[in-house]
Structure 1
Amino acid sequence: MNTKNKNNLWWLAAGAGAFMAARAVYRKLTAYDFKYKVVLITGGSRGHGLVMARLLASEGAKLVLCARDETELENARMELAGQGVSVEVIPCDVTVQEQVNSMISQIERVMGPVDVLINNAGIIHVGPVTEMDVKEFEEAINLYYWAPIYTTLAVLPSMKKRGGRILNIASIGGKVSVPHLVPYSASKFAMVGLSEGLRAELKQYGISVTTANLGLMRTGSPRHALAKGQHEKEYALFKIMDSIPLFSESAEATAKTILDALRHGDAEVTTTLPAKVGSLVHGISPELTTEVLALVNKFLPGEGGIGTNRAKGYESESDLSMSGLTKTTQKAAFKNNEL
């Protein structure tokens, strides 16, 4: 390599380094400060929602957690209160627009307008699509599409005046449709489209919308999954995949990553290496991706078992699902109010 080429490479490297340093400084200076901000987390009573609540509480946010289960909400409130955190909890079914509107009105009366909305409430159905009923698709689309619409429309009047942040917790399943998770994936695709459209339109009001495409994480949530068909096998496989570090990451690591994306107003963030690779490959060749997944599907549990009936994860435990392979998920369930 001659001297001229060496000099060019040096200047190129120096320029790239300067750009990265300037970008880091800019992001730090423009980062959103959660301190004293009113933050509403749907599905905030357990699992990933509760983990995010802990992190936001440590930054001084004024938290509001909503969920359907009052006992879970109270457990979350007591935990955070025990750490000196002031938090409001409101029972609410976010798939019912009237309840959402009432909740937002209550928050605005008691705490002031919502500054940050995190659409996190979730449900998951596991099993062959041939064992799914319309009910599963309706439940998924109501929670992952209509619920974020209801919450977003409810906070928009005040956010348009003041600006704010919205974080939509989507999934790699909203980028790549995974076998035996079709209702979940289809509704997450809808959520991703909604989130991207909202970002484009709401930026003019100073409202930043971030889409989080999550890979597998160890929250302990499989206990609340709804399994169909050969439910014990479906659940055991789901729980094992959720537990393996190679395929999943801790709920704390995921929460930190996506909250940083929200802090900096990023359009999108994808967690875990498998999710990033899957999204990239699917973007290049959807046909290749679906062919590979069709092959994977041949090794998944088939029809049978309880058929179109369904069982909760904790009703589907077996020796395999309670083995050492799932130890990390079991520990997470205890830690994150999933029991």
Structure 2
Amino acid sequence: MMNTKTKNKWLLAGAGLGGLFLFRSFKRNKREFSFKDRTVLITGGSRGLGLVLARTFAEQGAKIAICSRTQDQLDTARAELEAGGATVLAFNCDVADQEQVKTMIAEIKERLGPVEVLINNAGVISAGPLEEMDVPDFEEAMNIHYWGALYTMLEVIPDMKARGEGRIVNIASIGGKISVPHLVPYSGSKFALVGMSEGFRAELCKYGLYVTTINPGLMRTGSARNAFVKGQHEKEYTAFALLDANPLISLAAEDAARKIVDAARYGKAEETLGLNAKLMSALHGLFPGTVTDLLCVINQFLPEPGGIGKERVRGYESETPLTQSILNAPNRKAAAKNNEY
């Protein structure tokens, strides 16, 4: 039988654990943030995950601002959101241009009120072997993922600090935790975004501003067809699209959006999306060298340089019988639904 001393230890441990859960529950409830009538800016909000997020925030009663560099997709997204009853502003804005960002956020403030929730979602992907990547590929990724996120944050933070509350969500990637072969410009820039996002959170919490870093794994948003591919572009796109389309290893866009909105609501520090991404992130945290060596092996099976070389084309310009088969049907369905055509 358990002696009194041991029993007391277990009771104390149980009480401590219960207290921890109560504290976490209290902290979670204290941070809860309603999105009703809030002004939410989503960069890259005209298609893919950005558009799904816009729909989800609109369902919460938020006022929506979206931006993109593609006017026809913006027009389609705005029309859809307005048809659903949302209040929407749409801006043709390149977030890599600080002056364009300043102008956009000033207009949002004038027409909808100050941005209370910022979702930095704008992104670009160039897939291909390192030999086919140029400096402009790295510059473009940094300009959009890092500098674009910085410009928007710098514009909205003063008003958030003055109100003593706000939410900023930076959509990074599992590629910002583990550098992925054939996506080096993308991964490098996402690593930079993760570092900046975590640093901003540490310094802004005391003002009631919560910065959340989101690290999604593969998602079925339909965005693969708009990614850039280089080298043996048809092989690159086929591998990329079929991995995205596989429901066993990728997450539905709507599920991802709900998790992101929930993370913003409660001011979470970080959320990694997808079981595979969580497992890989945990494994990399414990054995970074081993994971990197494993990626060295995986790289042996990826397409070699060649094909169109350093030229780049979109995924939809690289279709193959496999990407047009039933294997890629989930991606095609998501692309149609999420304005990727």
TM range (shorter): over 0.9
Deviation at 1:156, TM superposition (A): 2.1
Alignment match, 2:227: 225
**Counterparts of 2:82 and 2:221 in 1: how far apart (Å)?**
21
Residues 156-184 of structure 1 show CA distances to partners (whole Å, capped at 9, x for unaligned) of 22122012110000000000000000000
Matches within 5 A, 1:1-339: 2=2, 12=13, 16=17, 19-20=20-21, 23-24=24-25, 26-162=27-163, 163-339=165-341
Q: Which runs of 5+ in 1 are unaligned?
A: none
- Structure 1 stretches of 4+ with a deviation exceeding 3 A read 1-26
**Alpha-carbon distance in structure 2 between the residues aligned to 1:271 and 1:166:** 17
Structure 2 residue matching 1:227: 3-state secondary structure: strand
Distance in 2, Cα, partners of 1:298 & 1:166: 39
| Partner secondary structure for residue 196 of structure 1 | helix
Equivalent position amino acid for 2:286 in 1: I
TM-aligned CA deviation for residue 205 of structure 1: 2.1
What is the TM-score normalised by the length of structure 2? Answer: 0.95
Contact 2:238 2:320 in 1 (8 A): yes
The structure-2 alpha-carbon separation of the partners of 1:13 and 1:246, relative to structure 1 and needing over 3 Å to count, comes to farther
Report the RMSD for the aligned CA atoms in angstroms.
Answer: 1.7
Give the Cα–Cα distance (whole angstroms) in 2 for the partners of residues 3 and 47 of structure 1.
Answer: 60
Shift of 1:222: 0.3
Secondary structure of 1:302's partner?
coil
Pairwise CA distance, 1:109: 1.2
Deviation at 1:23, TM superposition (A): 3.4
- Separation in 1 of the partners of 2:15 and 2:320? 57
User: Within 2, Cα distance between the matches of 1:248 and 1:231?
Assistant: 22
Contact 2:177-2:281 within 8 A present in 1 as well: yes
Deviates more, 1:200-209 or 1:295-304: 200-209
Q: Mean alpha-carbon deviation: is it higher for 237-246 or for 156-165? A: 156-165
* Equivalent residue letter for 2:136: K
Q: Please say which of residues 172-181 and 250-259 is displaced more in the overlay.
A: 250-259
Superposition TM-score, scaled by structure 1 size: 0.95
Q: Aligned pair count?
A: 339
**For 1:177, what is the secondary structure of its paired residue?**
coil
Shift of 1:227: 0.4
* Preserved contact between residue 31 and residue 267 of structure 2 (Cα < 8 Å): no
Cα distance change, pair 73–9 in 1 and its aligned pair in 2 (3 A): same
Contact 2:141 2:185 in 1 (8 A): yes
Deviates more, 1:272-281 or 1:121-130: 272-281
Deviations 1:119-148 (A, max 9, x none): 000110111011111111111010001101
Structure 2 Cα separation of the partners of residues 203 and 24 of structure 1: 18
